[in-house]
Structure 1
């Protein structure tokens, strides 16, 4: 293990890490989205949000690696923490520190690494200490540009803000709950807590079970868009939630009253001015002398955080070049479609591979190749005859369709033939015209193809069967038909 004593106070560093209470927590969309964005930025196989504990490296988010942790003594990130600075290893085999590292000489065969330390303020204050990294890695050497490394550093600052926000939110929520015990006889503490509520956008509330009287703090009124002192009623409070979320909150309140079960929910909400918000609400029972006398809790306006997280997820789910859904979005949507298919809904997938695309890149350059990809994505988006369907870019020059409804059985051959015609595209150059076409392989959900892996495998094999017979044609798994384009002239 790299010795960081004397550079970083290891005891204080571990205290700062454990104060976050993040180790071994479930995956969260915002951290996953940042890791996915970093991997996309560098075009590499791996990206991680890594937290370095005393003897292990644990991944809050991991792209490209199934393991949730690795031993610290083989961790690249330990070196990043030791330096407390950006660490870039262009080729691990050329660096004596890493040439014999197990992560280099055996799977995953890491050849390139770049990591930025994640720093947080330790409990009690003081200088921020490195507790982990945002890092990327690949099995091929890389020499990243300064611009990419600066963007990676900026993404690390976003991760730090999320970590600090989690800790601050936890502390403020606990502070607001503690307020219930001192309300009434500690006026100074009460005033400080009111300031904390405003800063954290957290309000407290109490529902007396005898008569269902409701008490709100000033910040709870503010979150609802009401003037402090307005009549607070349980029925009125429930009206701010849409029907589905209101049902969730009513069920949680009922369980709390009957069974003493606490709740922690994130719900949609519309305030008195009609502004859509997102709130987090916590509630628990208040017992006195063994009798349940009230339900008390807090409500927090988390709209800004929620919208930021949704934007990060949207970026991770969208292909940057074409604007259509990415492979990640396709995988998620296909799993939903498979659940419905197991209940009897028709389903098929079709993989589309562009012919002569490499020739376009080689002869006319990547800018023209990018335009071809954008044109093909636009053509796919404009198709109306496929019925209920979704499109996505798998990567490179491959696209994929999810097809639903009766056409997946009755009209699939005809639809593929029409699609082959629509996806022919003539790209002029100085000497001639390069006709880009599509070869299509499809697979229909059935007894032999019941999961994502088998559907993709069979569709891919059908595609290469069609390509071997003739580029610009199609084939369907389990069907010997060789599908020809309906129209021969490219558009």
Structure 2
């Protein structure tokens, strides 16, 4: 409990890092509910949930209480069939929880030991399974939660020291030593700017992140050059807002060091003294500057994993649904045409059964390459399931020639496959249709193209019979 209490996480307001994390967990593991929970002495408190619901539950009836007792993820495919949970009121209710998967979240105490403080979990009201990749992803997500908690703690400590250092001169030397240690451990630094004079002060940690020699006088006009143009505008607006309204600065931005190395940084700041907003003259703003490159890279990796079909490298079904919904919105707003093509492989099951699954996997990978050919001009291709694929086409040079798209794709999909002297032909049928006014949703549009695909398959079957 001491480790959890020291983090000052319990009963706090929502924070975007943790809200984004549970949203990613629900999306990545395809579950309707995801939570980040903290285990207090007698209760479980929900720090973040993808549906926005927060609150507390008695600790002894929660699955997360069991999760933190082990080091590996706890996965229960059907809670009603597990003697530990079957009588649990959260499970026994008519709309109760049936599936649970959670991984423990740890924090490091002052003695350097890791202690479980809660769990990152996903839930469903229907029984389901979680494969090895899903379990691994759950562990990665819990690790990301731990990193976010550690970064939050370091940022709070650093900001508190930066704001109060000049008020506590009697302990300034001790605070400075502590702060320098925190800077080195957390890739963090402090800054202070006198506005509008532009006098800028950096701690050693900020120089290190910039990959600049320690101790030089920072030049505000050059410091801004480390950011891309759109980020410079965000910084300028944030400085204006904190001076006018006192709203703290909290930005996460792309950044390039003096040596040309790309980084991701988080910039936080606030007025040195809140009363300064009511005083004419210069205003001092103090804050922290943190290198969050590793955490950002892990988030991007997890998101790519959540959106990509591992075998073909194409977008997966969830990513396709989001992309098509966005494409429909853009097409409606701009009154531009939009095509959707669905691809169904012909005889794929026979190839799998006759030549083996390795040959089938090779066929699927080949289809992935075909659907990403340069001539498709950046159209988004996705694998919807086993041998079903889709292509969203919005390029002006392509949308006017749907028949040509079908012809070129069906020709490219006609590929010989052979294993140990056995040879077969892999082929595909393509159905394509344009977005019409009666297609109000992604489901409507896909259904429309499904009908076209079904007709195309029947026609091809008829052609083969006549040829025989």
TM-score tier (shorter): 0.7 to 0.9
Distance 2:134 2:441 in 1: 39
The question of 1:251 aligning with 2:241 is answered no
Q: 1:178 to 1:248 in 2, by over 3 A?
A: same
The question of 1:464 aligning with 2:454 is answered yes
Note the aligned Cα RMSD (angstroms).
4.1
Distance 1:176 1:149 in 2: 41
Q: 1:181 to 1:21 in 2, by over 3 A?
A: farther
* 1:356 aligned to which of 323, 332, 347: 347
SS in structure 2 at match of 1:198? helix
SS in structure 2 at match of 1:447? coil
Please show how residues 128-207 of structure 1 align to structure 2 within 5 Å: 128-134=115-121, 139=126, 151=136, 154-155=139-140, 158-159=143-144, 161-182=146-167, 184-185=169-170, 186-207=172-193
Does structure 1 conserve the Cα–Cα contact (< 8 Å) formed by 2:25 and 2:122? no
Distance 2:212 2:220 in 1: 15
Cα displacement (A) at 1:371: 1.4
SS in structure 1 at match of 2:446? helix
Cα displacement (A) at 1:320: 1.0
The question of 1:314 aligning with 2:314 is answered no
Q: 1:58 to 1:466 in 2, by over 3 A?
A: farther
Distance 1:364 1:81 in 2: 44
Cα displacement (A) at 1:224: 2.2
The residue that corresponds to 2:9 in the other structure is: 19
The residue that corresponds to 1:6 in the other structure is: none
Deviation track 1:5-61 (CA, whole Å, cap 9, x = no partner) reads xxxxxx769857962667754565555555666x4xxxx867845426677785846
The residue that corresponds to 1:296 in the other structure is: 286
Distance 1:286 1:315 in 2: 42
Distance 1:420 1:291 in 2: 72
* 2:329 aligned to which of 320, 330, 339: 339
The question of 1:396 aligning with 2:386 is answered yes
Deviation track 1:143-179 (CA, whole Å, cap 9, x = no partner) reads 97xx779846853662453353244234334334334
SS in structure 2 at match of 1:239? helix
Distance 2:120 2:334 in 1: 44
Cα displacement (A) at 1:359: 2.5
Distance 1:346 1:152 in 2: 38
SS in structure 2 at match of 1:324? coil
The residue that corresponds to 2:272 in the other structure is: 286
* 2:366 aligned to which of 375, 378, 381: 375
SS in structure 2 at match of 1:229? coil
Q: 1:200 to 1:85 in 2, by over 3 A?
A: closer
Deviation track 1:299-332 (CA, whole Å, cap 9, x = no partner) reads 1122222222222222222211112222333334
* 1:417 aligned to which of 383, 407, 412: 407
Does structure 1 conserve the Cα–Cα contact (< 8 Å) formed by 2:97 and 2:124? no
Distance 1:441 1:164 in 2: 49
SS in structure 1 at match of 2:226? coil
The question of 1:330 aligning with 2:316 is answered no
Distance 1:279 1:82 in 2: 32
SS in structure 2 at match of 1:400? strand
Cα displacement (A) at 1:214: 1.8
The residue that corresponds to 2:37 in the other structure is: 51
Cα displacement (A) at 1:295: 2.1
Q: 1:457 to 1:132 in 2, by over 3 A?
A: same
TM-score after normalising by structure 2:
0.80
Does structure 2 conserve the Cα–Cα contact (< 8 Å) formed by 1:19 and 1:123? no
TM-score after normalising by structure 1:
0.76
Does structure 2 conserve the Cα–Cα contact (< 8 Å) formed by 1:23 and 1:51? no
* 2:222 aligned to which of 213, 236, 242: 236
Please show how residues 77-96 of structure 1 align to structure 2 within 5 Å: 77-78=63-64, 80-81=66-67, 83-84=69-70, 86=72, 87-89=74-76, 92=79, 94-96=81-83
The question of 1:267 aligning with 2:253 is answered yes
When the two structures are aligned, how many residues end up with a matched partner?
A: 453
Q: Which runs of 5+ in 2 are unaligned?
A: none
The residue that corresponds to 1:479 in the other structure is: none
Larger mean Cα displacement after TM superposition, 67-76 or 299-308: 67-76
* 1:224 aligned to which of 199, 210, 213: 210
Distance 1:308 1:153 in 2: 13
Q: 1:106 to 1:13 in 2, by over 3 A?
A: farther
Q: 1:36 to 1:178 in 2, by over 3 A?
A: same
Cα displacement (A) at 1:250: 1.4
Please show how residues 56-75 of structure 1 align to structure 2 within 5 Å: 58=46, 60=48
Deviation track 1:62-121 (CA, whole Å, cap 9, x = no partner) reads 6xxx795799589762462475465454655543445566757856883x6554433445
Q: Looking at secondary structure, tell me which structure has more helix per residue.
A: 2
Does structure 2 conserve the Cα–Cα contact (< 8 Å) formed by 1:176 and 1:202? no
Distance 1:360 1:438 in 2: 13
Does structure 2 conserve the Cα–Cα contact (< 8 Å) formed by 1:351 and 1:442? yes
Q: 1:369 to 1:93 in 2, by over 3 A?
A: farther
Larger mean Cα displacement after TM superposition, 367-376 or 218-227: 218-227
Q: Which runs of 5+ in 1 are unaligned?
A: 1-10, 474-483
SS in structure 2 at match of 1:230? coil
